[in-house]
A and B are shown apart, each in its own frame.
Chain A
Amino acid sequence: MTRVTELPLETDKMVLNFGPQHPSTHGTLRIIMELDGETVTKATPEIGYLHSGFEKLGEDLDFNQYITITDRMNYLSPLCNNVAYALAAEKLIGIEVSKRTEYIRVLMCELSRIADHLLNVGMLAVDLGALTAFLYGFKLREDIYDLFEIATGTRLTTSYTLVGGLMRDIPVGYDKAVLKVLDEVDEVANDIETLLNKNRIWQDRTKKIGIISKEDAISYGISGPMARASGIEWDIRVNEPYSSYEDFEFDVAIALNGDVFDRYLVRMEEIRQSIKICRQSLEKMPSGDVIVDPGLGYSLPPKDEVYNSIEGLIYHFEVTMPNRGMTPPVGEAYVPTESPNGELGFYIVSDGNRTPYRVRTRPPSLMNYSIFSKLIEGHMLSDAPAIIGSINVIAGELDR
């Protein structure tokens, strides 16, 4: 019996590979963790598993073709990426889009924001063991994807925008379908909050976990709901309005503690504000075309004209042939937009050819994720899924 106590206790640190196939990483993230017992002493995130050279590819595709690539970046809210890229290209070229286009873009962005936040909150909950909230959110997300399917023709790879407008107008009666879903969103948001907010286990797992201070948030370039949960009053939709966001009345959700729980609260409040914006955009929807005069040589003519008239067909060829069409000015443009994750910016440099010279995406996930190793230090291993979930890392956008 004495032999056991005489043995020196092993106190070596253990190195644990978290991912790339761990279920809570939602993508391919790998974290190399040094553990002291169950406490994480050091974490080194390793990224790049999904690096597919989108930026290199962009140098070979013309302005409209690259929109299909932007779908694949943040695959939870592809419409926001479409809109952000179209805005950057329009700023570079100097196109003013019609008011109706801008309102439809706002509607689509906010619907994606709802879907993105619902999924994020649900995933955070399911990683911590609360399956019901996830199922509520996921069912509704399917309904929102149905709305995307009605408008764009696809659920995920939407490619809805064009440089200078939209692929197609929203169908007649679309507002009724949207309003019906929005009512459900309201209910489900209440349901989720009733399930989680005062849940003792949920509070224990999320409060005081992964606290980001205001200074750290600015230093690490953190934006979006994560920054607002740390008390930074910054929303690009309000501070630097784009695409007619100045016409809409809504509040910016702010929390002060900067922990996982506050990030969840901010996301839930943003869902409610997005519902407000969607309702306003449907009410005020102006009439008009959704594409500016295609005489510029950027946007394709409507498909009706292409199939039914010889002029339309000729014009379609003129635009798509590699030695015709687009002559953008030489210059560069950076457009920041408020995507569900944070500041999504596109930086386009043009040398006057039909393909951009350089397309840079400012992915919010990359900057938000870079603080992770600091957040997890000193926490338990089981807090890692909570922190990853609250950061909402999208690997497609992270690695591009």
Chain B
Amino acid sequence: MTEFAGEQILHVRGPDILTLLTKLKADGFNFLADLTAIDNLTLGGYERFAVSYHLLCHETVERLTVKAYIPEEKPSLPSVESLWKTADWQEREVFDLYGIKFEGHPNLIRIMNPDDFEGYPLRKDYPRLGRKERSDFPVVDRGIQKKKS
């Protein structure tokens, strides 16, 4: 448990996240405001990836951040889709951009990028300008001959 800028942050190990969030949901944190991931490649942390859950309790107006840490090889977490339906798309987004697998997710496919996209763009080792995917796009000329200048 740490605190920064008035925010409570709870740090847990990855596999425990589902039991913890089930418990927190029963305790009144009924709203999953946001679910996202952080790549700790150069930041440092307990493990390579951290998935953070921003919870909100409507009754007591409290917010809580839970960070689940998962290692670099075989990054996977139990899915919380059974607790909140909103986790469906948000976990798909994290899977798309970070390559973190969510066990038990009903439909874990890419959401932002096309299905045949390779790599995970928000990882820190993915170059900002991309890996030249665009230069491989097939050229369709539709029979129009360009003048050579």
Give residues in A with beta carbon < 8 Å to B. Answer: 47-48, 51, 53, 55-57, 59-60, 91-92, 94, 216, 218-223, 232, 234, 239-240, 331-334, 336, 343, 345, 347, 349, 351, 357-358, 360, 362, 366-367, 370-371, 399
Scan residues 56-100 of chain B and give those whose CB is less than 8 A from a CB of chain A: 56, 58, 61, 63, 65, 84-86, 88-90, 93, 97
- Additional A-B contact list (8), CB under 8 Å, known A239-B61, A347-B34: A48-B110, A57-B128, A60-B128, A221-B86, A332-B7, A334-B65, A345-B54, A347-B54
- Please, which residue of chain A has its CB at the minimum distance from the CB of B52? A347
Q: List 22 A-B contacts (CB under 8 A).
A: A48-B112, A51-B112, A51-B113, A56-B122, A60-B128, A91-B5, A218-B58, A219-B85, A221-B33, A221-B84, A221-B85, A232-B58, A333-B7, A336-B33, A345-B33, A347-B36, A347-B52, A347-B54, A349-B43, A357-B38, A362-B36, A371-B85
Taken together as a complex, chains A and B put the C-alpha atoms of A239 and B58 apart, in Å, by 9
Query: Which among A94, A220, A232, A334 is the interface contact of B54 at CB below 8 angstroms?
Result: A334
Contact B88–A358 (Cβ < 8 Å): no
Distance to closest chain A CB from B92 (angstroms)? 10
- On chain A, the residues within 8 Å of B97 by CB distance are 55
Contacts A358-B38, A367-B86 given; does A331 touch B112 at CB 8 Å: no
Give the nearest-CB partner of A331 in chain B: B4
In the complex, what's the smallest C-beta–C-beta distance from A328 to chain B, in angstroms? 11
Instruction: With both chains docked as a complex, state the minimum distance between the C-beta of B116 and any C-beta of chain A, in angstroms.
Output: 13
State how many angstroms separate the Cβ of B16 from the closest Cβ of chain A: 21
By a CB distance below 8 angstroms, the chain B residues around A371 are: 85
Does any Cβ of A come within 8 Å of B21's Cβ? no
Q: Are B30 and A218 in contact (CB under 8 A)?
A: yes
Q: Is the CB of A56 within 8 A of B128?
A: yes
Residues of B contacting A92 with CB < 8 Å? 5
Best-surrounded residue of A59, A219, A399 (most CB of chain B within 10 A): A219
Q: How far is the CA of A336 from the CA of B93 in the complex (A)?
A: 20
Give the distance in Å from the alpha carbon of A124 to the alpha carbon of B32 in the complex. 29
Residue B149, interface by CB 8 Å: no
Which residues of B have CB within 8 Å of A332? 4-5, 7, 9, 65
- How many inter-chain residue pairs (CB < 8 Å) link A and B? 99
Chain B hits for A48, CB < 8 A: 110-114
For A92, give the chain B residue with the smallest CB separation.
B5
Which single residue of chain A is at the shortest CB-CB distance from B110?
Answer: A48
In the bound complex, CA of A48 to CA of B114 (Å):
8
**How many residues of chain B have a CB within 8 Å of chain A?**
39
One of A216, A336, A349, A370 near B89 (C-beta < 8 A) = A370
A219 and B34 contacting across the interface, CB-CB below 8 Å:
no
Is B34 a contact partner of A362 (Cβ separation < 8 A)? yes
A368 CB to closest chain B CB (Å) equals 10
Bitwise interface map of B from 38 to 64 toward A, beta carbon under 8 Å scored 1, else 0: 110011000000001010101001010
Are B33 and A362 in touch, CB under 8 angstroms? yes
Contact with A along B99-139 (1 / 0, CB 8 A): 00000000000111110000001100010100000000000
Chain A residues lying within 8 Å of B52, measured Cβ to Cβ, are 347
Is A333 a contact partner of B112 (Cβ separation < 8 A)? no
Residue in A closest to B4 when the chains form the complex, CB atoms: A331
Cα distance, A149 to B79, chains bound together (Å):
46
Task: With CB as the reference atom, state the residue of chain A lying closest to B31.
Answer: A218
Q: Pick the contact of B111 from A47, A60, A239, A343 — CB < 8 Å?
A: A47
* CB–CB A345/B112 < 8 A: no
Q: Is the CB of A360 within 8 A of B36?
A: yes
Nearest A residue to B2 by beta-carbon distance?
A: A331
Residue in B6, B32, B33, B43 whose beta carbon sits within 8 Å of that of A357 in the complex: B43
Q: Judging by beta carbons under 8 Å apart, are B65 and A221 in contact?
A: no
What chain B residues lie within 8 Å of A94 (beta carbons)? 5
Complexed CA–CA distance, A223 and B58 (Å): 12
Bound: A51/B92 CA distance, A = 14
Query: How far is B126's CA from A51's CA once the two chains are assembled, in angstroms?
Result: 17
Task: Please indicate the chain B residues that have their CB under 8 angstroms from the CB of A51 in the complex.
Answer: 112-113
- Nearest first, the 8 closest Cβ-Cβ pairs linking A and B are A221-B86, A331-B4, A48-B112, A51-B112, A362-B34, A370-B89, A360-B36, A219-B85
